[in-house]
Each structure stands twice: as C-alpha cells, then as structure tokens.
Amino acid sequence: QVQLVESGGGLVQAGGSLNLSCAASGRMFSRYAVGWFRQAPEKDYEFVMAITNTGRSTYDSDFAKGRFIVSRDNAKNMVYLQMNDLKPEDSAIYYCAAIAGGNVYRRDSYTSWGPGTQVTVSS
C-alpha cells in the first residue's frame, strides 16, 4: 500500500485558484490510480476527479469539468489537483486516495487515504 498526504489547501476568494498536492510514499505508487474526493460539512463524500496510474486518462465529475485539472508525476510520487474559478460551494476538505483496481467513482474502491486538506472559498 501507499501512504498519502495532501497539501495546498487554504482560503481563497471566489474566482481564485488553488493547486492541491498529494504526496505518496511507497515504491509501488505508479501501480495505483489516484482519486480526489471532497467532503463539505454535514455532507457525504463527493467524487472530484481521478487519474490512472500512467496519467494517460482522467475522470471528472460534472462540477469539475472545465475548472479542475488532475495530473501526476510518478518520478516524484506526486499527484496534483489544479482548481480554477473556485466557488463558495467548492469549500470542503479535499482528500486524495489510491486505488489498485475497481470503480474510480466509488469511495469504497480506494484502499489508502490521506488526512485531507481544507479548502475554503469566500464569496
């Protein structure tokens, strides 16, 4: 398994941008696809985006289309989530998670999770 730690969250005004990072430890990182989820207060986890182990394919949610970009650098064991044109409804704790196989849209498919990073978007 891999261990994951997110960073890059913070407070930003509506319309602004943030670039979240997900640092992974473990030699087998390049075998895992990585997904990003978020959880707002009193709401369930929500799929944001995912990227395959090679980085050749990505999956996105409707709200992320055209605003968010996911990428990875396997040489550095890093995955990134570039978020643009942020809205107050994007405020949540953002988590990265690793998946060896299965449905990337389902939270229970993922085997390793980071502790999360808080994103707050002010109006």
pLDDT tens digits, 16-38? 999 999 999 988 899 999 999 99
pLDDT tier, 101 (very low <50, low <70, confident <90, very high otherwise): confident
Report pLDDT for 82. Answer: 98
Instruction: Say what the pLDDT of residue 98 is.
Output: 97
pLDDT value at residue 88: 97
pLDDT, one tens digit per residue, over 37-83 is: 999 999 999 999 999 999 999 999 999 999 999 999 999 999 999 99
Residues 105, 59: contact at Cβ < 8 Å?
A: yes
Q: For the chain, what is the mean pLDDT?
A: 96
- Which pLDDT score, from 0 to 100, does residue 38 have? 98
In angstroms, the CA 97 to CA 14 distance is 26
Angle, CA of 90, 119 and 32, to the nearest 5° = 90
